């Protein structure tokens, strides 16, 4: 596969196992020997100069002007490779001026100005099979100026089967800082000033994005996709301008550490420029999209949203109680809250934090009863629906509301008094007579949320519903 061996080497430099070396005296000759062993078995390696300068910071072994040619159109060049300190336990390994190029097209697929590992467990990185290398670790990582072609093998391996698969373009990162790194864990990893532009960027189409920072904390079990976990992920100041999305996000924070009994997801100040998005939409779709935009934003064409989804668990008798709180706030439109307080059954002998962190679908939990509360607050959305609906139906606004009320009563006759109360409250929101509605439901024991989704018509008979309006 194109670039496969070169990309494997670069992947190793960015976090795969380091190569073990024999415990012999540190020297530039040893560095040369290990570099040739790492690179030379799959192509030719030339080294311009070897030296061992003694500076105030201590002994160094330096190799300069390295060029690896695979003989198949792949070329890796390194301006300078420096091992500082004890060769068997280096203070640091620094790689400067790393470039991976396609000789046939002249395209530079990877370009790194400088990459430094602080206190790595080994000194030389392998190009060939890494399955036999020993486990590795490093106290720190600093990378300056990364440019990556999205069609390269290393980019494809990172993107995987995500919607970005098949993207074309460039990704740049000004700086990466890490600490407590090992084969299957990351203590912390921070990306500064990310920027990408290109075509076929998943559902976004073509365009660009800018991200001020992305940090990952306490990622572990990375060698097993099924059990891999991230303690916290934090994105700050995201800006996107593409064919199908124009907007920005102040921050996104994910707390995935369930060992402390709580976690969540928070979106702060998500802004979408619907006017710009409508301009870029196909002409046949613009009228309908503009109508939806007017209802959501009151004709401003600017949608602003905040959201928070939190959860916590605690032991209670022989079971556990799972409490979640969700809130979505669309400025000048609607505020929606959804809370659950559920005693749940966890398989015997399983650590609750591990079980809940690995749970893909909360609907599969066995419930021992519990309460669910839905809160809806009108902030302008409902009073904009009635005029638009009336205009589309060719009737007066009052007639439109009365039609909706008649339909609500009809559905209520089929589904029960509680459902009718909910539907009539929604109609009263259209008419401006109700601004808030709260629906509370008590769940029976020995059930799961999936059963309610599969048979919604049975909800009134299975749940104890209470509706409050004001």
In the block, tokens 């100005």 appear at 113
Q: Which helix (H) or strand (E) holds 450?
A: helix 449-454
Same domain as 338, residue 428: no
Helix (H) or strand (E) holding 330: strand 319-330
**Does residue 257 fall inside a structural domain?**
yes
Does residue 178 or residue 464 have the better pLDDT?
A: 178
pLDDT score for 334: 97
pTM of the model: 0.84
DSSP helix/strand/coil, 327? strand
Q: Is the dihedral of CA 26, 63, 139, 59 positive or negative?
A: positive
Instruction: Identify whether residues 376 and 338 lie together within a single domain.
Output: no
Rounded Cα distance between 300 and 141, Å, is: 46
Confidence at 157, pLDDT banded by 50, 70, 90: low
**Using CA atoms, how far apart are residues 301 and 296, in angstroms rounded to an integer?**
8
Q: Give the mean pLDDT of the chain.
A: 84
Note the pLDDT of residue 19: 34
User: 387 in a domain, yes or no?
Assistant: yes
Same domain, 323 and 381: no
Report whether 98 contacts 111 (CB < 8 A): yes
Please list the residues that pair with 110 across neighbouring strands: 100, 148
Return the higher-pLDDT residue of 440 and 320. Answer: 440
DSSP 399-426: HHHHHHHHHHHHHHHHH-HHHHHHHHHH
What DSSP string describes 335-379? EEEEEEEEEEE--TT--HHHHHHT-S-GGGSEEE--EEEEEEEES
**pLDDT score of 159:** 61
Q: Are residues 379 and 324 in the same domain?
A: no
Band of the pLDDT at 20, cuts 50, 70, 90?
A: very low
pLDDT for the residue numbered 320: 85
Whether 314 and 391 share a structural domain = no
Predicted local confidence at residue 114, as pLDDT: 98
Nearest-angstrom CA–CA distance, 178 and 48:
31
What's the average model confidence in pLDDT over 315-329?
88
* pLDDT band at 151; cut points 50, 70, 90: confident
pLDDT tens for each residue of 167-217: 788 899 999 999 999 878 899 999 999 998 988 777 778 899 999 999 999
Per-residue confidence (pLDDT) for residue 18, from 0 to 100: 33
**What pLDDT score does 1 carry?**
42
318 with 382, same domain: the answer is no
Q: 24 or 293, which is more confident?
A: 293
Residue at token pair 């007579």: 433
Report whether pLDDT(8) > 70: no
Residue 238 lies inside a defined structural domain of this protein: no
Residue range of the domain that includes 448:
372-469
- DSSP characters over 52-101: --EETTEEEEEEEEEEEE-SSSEEEEEEEEEEES-TTS-SEEEEEEEEEE
Looking at the domain assignment, is residue 279 inside a domain?
A: yes
| Mean pLDDT lowest among 79-93, 127-141, 210-224, 427-441 | 127-141
**77 contact partners, CB below 8 Å, separation of at least 6:** 66, 67, 68, 97, 98, 99, 101
Evaluate whether residue 396 is within a structural domain.
Answer: yes
Tell me, what's the pLDDT at 163?
53
Do 337 and 279 lie in one domain? The reply is yes
Tell me the C-alpha to C-alpha distance, in Å, between residue 425 and each of 371, 409, 431. Answer: 21, 11, 10
User: pLDDT at position 203, please?
Assistant: 73
Stretch 311-329: mean pLDDT, rounded? 88
* One domain for residues 428 and 376: yes
């904009």: which residue's tokens?
A: 384
- Is there a domain that residue 122 lies in? no
Residues 339 and 249 in one domain: yes
Question: Residue 323 corresponds to which tokens in the numbers above?
Answer: 């409490």
Query: Of 95, 97, 39, whose CA–CA distance to 71 is shortest?
Result: 39
Q: What pLDDT sits at residue 186?
A: 92
Asked if the structure places residue 327 within a domain, the reply is yes
**Reported confidence tier of residue 357, pLDDT bands at 50, 70, 90:** low
User: Is residue 340 within 8 Å of residue 322, measured between CB atoms?
Assistant: yes
Q: Which of 385, 389, 469 is nearest to 433 (CA)?
A: 469
Q: Which of 343, 358, 385 is the last residue of a domain?
A: 343
pLDDT at 74: 83
What are the respective helix, strand and coil percentages of the chain, to the nearest 5? 25, 45, 25
Last residue of a domain, which of 323, 343, 363? Answer: 343
Number of folded domains that form the chain: 2
Give the model's confidence band at 164: pLDDT under 50 very low, under 70 low, under 90 confident, else very high.
Answer: low
* Of the candidates 306, 301, 298, 290, the residue with the CA atom closest to the CA atom of residue 333: 298
pLDDT tens for residues 219-271?
Answer: 887 777 667 788 899 999 999 999 889 999 999 999 988 777 888 999 999 99
Distance CA 123, CA 25 (A): 13
With beta carbons less than 8 A apart as the criterion, state whether 445 and 464 touch.
no
Say if residue 385 is in the same domain as residue 441.
yes
Contact assessment for residue 50 and residue 27, using Cβ atoms and an 8 Å cutoff: no
Averaged pLDDT, 357-365? 67
Q: What average pLDDT does this structure show over 363-371?
A: 80
Q: Do 440 and 389 belong to one domain?
A: yes
Residue 326 counted as domain residue: yes
Between 41 and 177, whose confidence is greater? 177
Residue with the bigger pLDDT between 60 and 153: it is 60
């Amino acid at each position: 596969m194109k670039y496969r061996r070169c990309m494997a080497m670069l992947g190793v430099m960015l976090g795969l196992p380091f190569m073990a070396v024999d415990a012999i005296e540190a020297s530039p000759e040893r560095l040369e020997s290990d570099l040739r062993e790492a690179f030379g078995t799959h192509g030719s390696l030339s080294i311009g100069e070897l030296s061992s300068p003694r500076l105030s910071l201590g002994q160094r072994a330096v190799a300069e002007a390295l060029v690896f040619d695979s003989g198949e159109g792949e070329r890796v060049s390194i301006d300078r490779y420096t091992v500082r300190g004890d060769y068997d336990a280096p203070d640091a390994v620094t790689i400067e001026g790393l470039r991976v190029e396609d000789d046939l097209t002249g395209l530079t697929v990877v370009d790194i100005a400088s990459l430094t590992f602080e206190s790595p467990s080994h000194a030389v990185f392998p190009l060939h099979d890494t399955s036999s290398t020993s486990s590795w670790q490093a106290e720190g990582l600093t990378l300056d100026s990364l440019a990556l072609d999205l069609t390269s093998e290393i980019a494809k391996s990172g993107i995987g089967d995500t919607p970005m698969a098949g993207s074309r373009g460039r990704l740049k990162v000004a700086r990466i800082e890490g600490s407590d790194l090992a084969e299957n864990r990351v203590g912390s990893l921070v990306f500064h000033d990310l920027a990408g532009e290109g075509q076929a960027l998943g559902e976004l189409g073509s365009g660009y994005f800018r991200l001020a920072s992305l940090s990952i904390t306490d990622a572990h079990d990375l060698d097993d996709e099924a059990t891999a976990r991230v303690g916290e992920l934090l994105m700050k100041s995201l800006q996107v301008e593409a064919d199908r999305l124009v907007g920005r996000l102040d921050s996104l924070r994910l707390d995935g550490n369930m060992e402390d009994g709580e976690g969540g997801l928070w979106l702060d100040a998500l802004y979408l420029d619907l006017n710009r998005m409508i301009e870029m939409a196909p002409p046949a779709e613009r009228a309908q999209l503009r109508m939806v935009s007017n209802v959501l934003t009151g004709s401003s064409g600017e949608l602003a949203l905040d959201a928070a989804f939190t959860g916590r668990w605690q032991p209670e008798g022989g079971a556990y109680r799972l409490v979640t709180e969700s809130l979505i706030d669309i400025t000048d439109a609607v505020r929606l809250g959804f809370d659950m307080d559920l005693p749940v059954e966890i398989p015997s002998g399983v650590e609750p934090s591990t079980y809940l962190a690995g749970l893909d679908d909360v609907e599969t939990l066995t419930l021992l009863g519990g309460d669910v509360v839905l809160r809806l607050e009108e902030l302008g959305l409902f009073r904009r629906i009635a005029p638009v609906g009336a205009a589309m139906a060719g009737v007066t606004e009052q007639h439109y509301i009365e039609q909706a009320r008649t339909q609500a009563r009809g559905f209520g006759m089929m589904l029960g008094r509680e459902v009718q109360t909910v539907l009539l409250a929604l109609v009263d929101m259209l008419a401006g007579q109700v601004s808030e509605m709260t629906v509370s439901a008590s769940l029976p024991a020995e059930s799961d949320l999936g059963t309610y989704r599969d048979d919604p018509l049975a909800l009134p008979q299975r749940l104890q519903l209470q509706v409050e309006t004001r």
